[in-house]
Amino acid sequence: MGYSGARGGLAAILAAERLVREERDHAPAPWASTEQITSRFRLAVDRVQGEAGLFHEATAADAFRQAEGDTLEAAHLVRAHRSTLPRLAVSEPVDPDEMTVLRRIVPAHRTPDGPQLLGRTTDYTGRRLERPDAPPPAAPAVPAEAPLRAAEQRHPARFSALLRSLDLLVEHAPETDPEPFDVTRRPARPPAPRSAVLASMARAETGALVSLWYRSILGPDGDVHEVTLGEVRHGRLPLRVRHPHTGNPVEIGRFRATETEAIEDLDGATRTAPGSTSGTGWCSGTTSARPSRWPTSTSPAAASAAPARWSSSCSSRPTGSTPPGSWSTSSSPTT
């Protein structure tokens, strides 16, 4: 049975459109403004931005409202919208070590170098359903004072650096993939370069990534293979483009990103010495649940080269930038 085509012509299409608009635009409830969505449904907006690969909250919120809360449809709307936009600039590579951390957890070590910053997360709280029948009381006029953090606390050394100093990390030769592959402009063909895989995963649907992760650790075609989460960090990074006249990199803003480092024990017959390899996971966004809540989803195919200086092209517009988002993955370690 093939698709034979629903018949009815223009009248049917218009009727369907009217049915959609009636229930969506004229629901018997107050209109949800863009501002309401961006500030009340922050994670939904963030998810749409990440999966669409376009970081502009108002655009994502409008799409979220138009899609009636279906994030998959909203991401698709934003992607289609992005097709209408010209590319004005390409950002400079970002050094993830420049990140000013707001969250930083090292689950693999009890006393790592630098702080454990729990940050804003529901990971370690009892997530019981609350049924408030009225808005919560007004926030205190004076917010609780945040503890002062030293500069080095905001830029802690990496856990992988500790492993490296103990000579526990097997180094891989960096892949020669200097210019990132732009999956939005060129077709990726197998064997796709690493950056193409990363960029595709950066825009992937969150549920699909979780499924991929779970299948890779417990799937019927593989052994149990749970990668240890070494470190999660979330913070701000600068976004720079080259000035069109001077040619110098200019910081045009900062964006939030979440990064994970996963540690993988290397064993097997080909191992020459005890050691581990590490892989990085990367996700742009204001508050990305993806790497932080399902940590190992960042490396479904084991780990990769040492945390590569990650870079990606991204188009920039004054109102928002497209994503540097990238999740690293790679082939299985071979040494």
Partner 1 sequence: MTVTTESLDVDGLLAGIDAAAAPVGILDEGGKREIRRAALTAVCVPGYQVPFGSREMPVARGWGSGGLQVTLAVIGADDTVKVIDQGDDAGVNATNLRRLIADSTGCAQSADSREATIVQTRHRVPEQPLAQGQVLVLQVPVPEPLRGVQRSVAECARMHAEADYSTMWVSLYEDIVRNGVITRSTGYPVLVGGRYVTATTPIPRWDVPRLHRSAHLNLFGAGREKRIYAIPPETDVEPLTFDDVPFEVEGADSRCVRCGADDTFLVDAGHGRFACSDTEWCARVADADADLAGHRAAAPLALLPDPSRRAAAIVDARVPEPEPRDLPAGAEWTVLVEGLGKVHGPGGAAAVPGTGPGPGTAVSPATGAIVAAWDVGFDVAPGEAVGLIGESGSGKSTVLRCIVGDERATAGRLFLSAVDGGRTDVLTLDGPARRRLRIATLGIVHQDPADGLALNVSAGGNIAERLTAAGWRSYGAIRRARPSCWTGSRCRSPAWTTRCARSPAACASACRSRRRWPPTRPCCCSTSPPRASTRPSPRECSTCCAACSPSATSPRWS
Give the footprint of partner 1 on this chain (CB under 8 A). Answer: 109-113, 118, 123-128, 131, 162, 218, 220-224, 226, 267, 269, 293
C-beta of 267: minimal distance to partner 1 in Å? 7
Identify how many contiguous H helices and E strands the chain contains and give both numbers. 10, 6
C-beta of 52: minimal distance to partner 1 in Å? 26
C-beta of 120: minimal distance to partner 1 in Å? 14
Between 13 and 157, whose beta carbon lies closer to partner 1?
157
C-beta of 292: minimal distance to partner 1 in Å? 11
- Distance (Å, rounded) from C-alpha 96 to C-alpha 330? 19
Q: Is 21 exposed, middle or buried (0-12, 13-18, 19+ CB in 10 A)?
A: exposed
Closest CA to 72 of 48, 88, 91: 48
C-beta of 38: minimal distance to partner 1 in Å? 26
Greatest C-alpha distance within the chain: 71
Q: Which residues pair with 38 in a beta bridge?
A: none
C-beta of 223: minimal distance to partner 1 in Å? 5
Between 197 and 302, whose beta carbon lies closer to partner 1?
302
DSSP 239: E
Between 109 and 154, whose beta carbon lies closer to partner 1?
109
Query: Which residues 6+ apart lie within 8 Å of 104 measured at CB?
Result: 114, 115, 116, 117, 119, 156, 231, 232, 233, 234, 235
Between 126 and 247, whose beta carbon lies closer to partner 1?
126
C-beta of 273: minimal distance to partner 1 in Å? 12
3-state secondary structure of 265: strand
Q: Which residues pair with 105 in a beta bridge?
A: 232
Between 126 and 187, whose beta carbon lies closer to partner 1?
126
3-state secondary structure of 234: strand
Between 254 and 271, whose beta carbon lies closer to partner 1?
271
Query: Which residues 6+ apart lie within 8 Å of 44 measured at CB?
Result: 37, 64, 69, 71
- The count of other CB atoms within 10 Å of the CB of residue 90 is 15
Between 4 and 270, whose beta carbon lies closer to partner 1?
270
C-beta of 218: minimal distance to partner 1 in Å? 8
- Distance (Å, rounded) from C-alpha 273 to C-alpha 282? 29
Between 99 and 117, whose beta carbon lies closer to partner 1?
117
198 phi and psi, to 5 degrees?
-60, -45
- Distance (Å, rounded) from C-alpha 106 to C-alpha 70? 34
